[in-house]
Structure 1
Amino acid sequence: MIEILSPTELPRARRSGALVADILQSLRSRAGVGTNLLEIDRWTREMIDGAGAQSCYVDYAPSFGRGPFGHHVCTSVNDAVLHGLPHDYDLADGDLVTLDLAVSLEGVVADSAVSFVVGGSAPQESLDMIAATERALAAGIAAVRPGARVGDLSHAIGTVLGEAGYQVNTEFGGHGVGSTMHQDPHVANTGRPGRGYVLRPGLLLALEPWIMADTADLVTDADGWTLRSATGCRTAHSEHTVAVTEDGAEILTRPTPALP
């Protein structure tokens, strides 16, 4: 299913995106050495409930998971990259953390992810990986415009990741969003330009480049959800939800500007 929002529906998408961004910003500022992943999940639930929104994860039960997910945010640490199931783990100095959050507000879903290092020890490799996913995300967003094809976005993302020396896994990637969290079109993190679905104003896309330091292969934890690098190497993941507009793209998952 592919949904196209009307101009009158876009303000709802903006509010949903701002909520997701604000929650992630709060979680990032509060998470530190000694923070438990289950505590992060609790904070997330409190902020979602306080906004009158709904988590997209609690009842999420796709064919590839061992569902339902049962938590409110994905917490992936170090070699975990996607669908990290919150569990009883206290963050340590130098841990690379990815928080991935999807929320529905007023019937519209927004989805975003951020990677960061906690504590004072930040390995350069980790910082480089995070920066590469952020550059790739920016390149993908820059390619969004009416008439562009999904392959143009994939090519832009994959070019940045490849030039940075990373292999790209195409099992999981970006996707459409709307009234539900995962919709068509699928946006792989590498691909050929000029191919695939033609973008139209009103389409919402969650673009999400993610990488693993020295492999493109994934393994699944015994929890049935958490996806890790097959070699145990570190990983990184960046994601924004964007709206295709008449003249390009609008990033919906930016935090609300702080008041003076």
Structure 2
Amino acid sequence: MNDTRHVVVTGASGGIGGAIAERFAAAGCTLHLLGRDQARLAQAAEACRAAGAAAAHTHCCDVGDPDSLAAALAAPPRVDVLVNAAGNIPRLSLQDSEPAHWRGVWADKVLGAIEATRVACERMRADGGGVVVNIIGTAGVKPNPKTILTTTANAALIAFTEALGAQAVDWNVRVVGINPGLTQTARTAGLASGTGGDAYAALLKNLPFQRMATAGEVADCTWFLASPQAGYISGTVIDLDGGARWRV
């Protein structure tokens, strides 16, 4: 039987967000893809249709702009699942950062996810329930001064997810999160070319299983957390890093 849920994915034009959208599409869901680049969104929608989506709609918006985000979230007839996967944070230390970096990260990664969740929860509460899955990142639980913007933003979203997840169950809404570690995407492929072959090989050798996670593994975890099989999980954030957080 096809999954008839309407699934909204922010940051859906590629990377982890795109893989998540295709995972729900494979079950026959109706996808609503949010992102800034209409051309890339159109390609992602086509990939979702090819994967088996009942339908795939694109909503070009800026998640850091409340009005733009509200218009996009008003378009679906209902929101059964919201996946917040938007947010591309520059890898900077405090000394290398500027106020504009902090404001941009807070608007896109933190406030964007919070506002999307707030609006979606209102709709879910009125419609009888739903699930919010926040894609965050292990920097929030393993602070790194070299990527202090990421560390700070992720820590805030982890706390938000845990706190709201405890309350939202009263509305028949579950709020959960995933902290991916290093994951194979176009962005990390760029990291490989910038690091150099030997250094990149050493990086992989020190990772669990001597590899990064795949975007498909993050998508599968998202699918599970949004499924009825995870019906008693809320306020939980799963580290999807192969145990890297605990390695010396």
User: Above 0.5 in TM-score?
Assistant: no
Q: TM-score, normalised by structure 2?
A: 0.30
Which one has the bigger helix percentage? 2
Structure of higher RCO (CA pairs closer than 8 Å, 6+ residues apart) = 1
Which one has the bigger strand percentage? 1
